[in-house]
Amino acid sequence: MHKYLVSLLLLIPLISFSQEKMGFQQSDSLTYQYYLKGDWKNLIELSKAAFHQNIDSKFMRQRAGYAYLMTGDYTAAEIQFQKAFEFDRADEFTQTYLYYAALNRGSENRRFYAGYLSEEVRNKLGILPFNPVSLIDNEFNLKTNKSDSRSNQIYYRAGIGTELGYRLTLYQAVAYFRQTVSGVSTRQPEYIAMLNYNLSPKWQFKGTYHFLNTNDGYTAYPGNLGLLAISRQLNRFNLEANGSILKSTFATTRQYGLKAGVVFPGRSNIYLTSAVTGIAEEGASRAIFSQSAGLKCTDKLWAEGYITLGNLKNYNTFNGLYIYNSVDPSIFRTGCTLSCFLGPHLSLVGNFTFDQQQIESTSGNSYYYQYSYSAGIKWRL
């Protein structure tokens, strides 16, 4: 008993030391020593304690950011370098590592930060102020089912990205969809234009135009979709509000959505995204709920799983990139995506999705299952 008491008494000074108020000089010099030694764990712990005690400086933020970058927590690294940037926008170390943090994180701010790099660094990294072809991507999708009256669905898309400046990017794609329903072959060529404007690293505006030329070989039923979205980044959280209108020959669909995402600390970069969407169509309204979760499995492999509940008739997702306007709406969807980054330029994407489709009928609805397989390739230039 005495042994434990003595141990406890010996531990008290240690506990009180860790809770002791640190000074600026102590925090500054210790973080610098940890930085020089490459002791990222202690550097992160000490920085956290110092910032909590309102001890802060540009160098301490830079060291903490670098430590997070080295340990693979790119979101935390970006947050720390953003703070350092608030201290001094002209610091080249901050500018460069802010860009690297965003690049590794796959953040849409990557391009915005590139605008702050010095010309010398930009030239070294091959970053152009205007890049007519910044990426090329292709996607092929096959949807199979066991319904007698519905054929398999085929979809493919080819896209090109253009960097119009450091804040403005444009993505354009052409897509093609085909399915035979009860002997009638439906084809749907599509054109998509998506604009993304970074007002600041925290505020983003998005606009999409999506044209659908649905036809059965004899008659065309064109549709036009316009979407506007605004998103706000709050450290590890991301909030988005969006609204869109789809005018087709058959109906006018209004869609309003709210999305919230969070990235958890740690090198796995685990994230969760929830979205609630309201759809108003032909005087009726309905709600859709979507949840996704993902993580970085290895340095080159990311995985994401998702589930969507609700009637997805004329529902659009990924800011209007996909419009689900096939004849039978999905009422339940779940799936997973694997993204593999093979190098600085090439990435491959594989996806499997399971859908429960609904055949609407006046005599009562019936259901069938659909299995979707996608493969995509993206080349960044």
Report the interface residues with other proteins, using CB under 8 A. Answer: 23-25, 54-59, 86-91
Nearer to other proteins, 20 or 299 (CB): 20
Nearer to other proteins, 25 or 363 (CB): 25
DSSP calls for 26-91 = HHHHHHHHHHHHT-HHHHHHHHHHHHHTT---HHHHHHHHHHHHHHT-HHHHHHHHHHHHHH-TT-
- Considering the complex, what minimum distance in angstroms separates the CB of residue 120 from other proteins? 11
Structure tokens at 175: 């897509």
DSSP reduced 3-state for 149: coil
Helix (H) or strand (E) holding 213: strand 203-215
Nearer to other proteins, 39 or 56 (CB): 56
Cβ-contact 294, 271 below 8 angstroms: yes
Structure tokens at 258: 């709210």
- Considering the complex, what minimum distance in angstroms separates the CB of residue 82 from other proteins? 13
Nearer to other proteins, 93 or 156 (CB): 93
Nearer to other proteins, 23 or 222 (CB): 23
Structure tokens at 128: 């152009």
What does each C-alpha distance from 356 to 135, 143, 276 come to in angstroms? 34, 12, 20
Nearer to other proteins, 53 or 131 (CB): 53
Nearer to other proteins, 25 or 219 (CB): 25
- Considering the complex, what minimum distance in angstroms separates the CB of residue 375 from other proteins? 47
- Considering the complex, what minimum distance in angstroms separates the CB of residue 88 from other proteins? 4
- Considering the complex, what minimum distance in angstroms separates the CB of residue 330 from other proteins? 50
Nearer to other proteins, 54 or 363 (CB): 54
- Considering the complex, what minimum distance in angstroms separates the CB of residue 57 from other proteins? 4
Residue 355 burial (C-beta neighbours within 10 Å; 0-12, 13-18, 19+): buried
- Considering the complex, what minimum distance in angstroms separates the CB of residue 93 from other proteins? 11
- Say how far apart CA 74 and CA 65 lie, in whole Å: 9
- Say how far apart CA 245 and CA 227 lie, in whole Å: 7
- Considering the complex, what minimum distance in angstroms separates the CB of residue 303 from other proteins? 40
What does each C-alpha distance from 111 to 17, 78, 163, 241 come to in angstroms? 44, 14, 8, 22
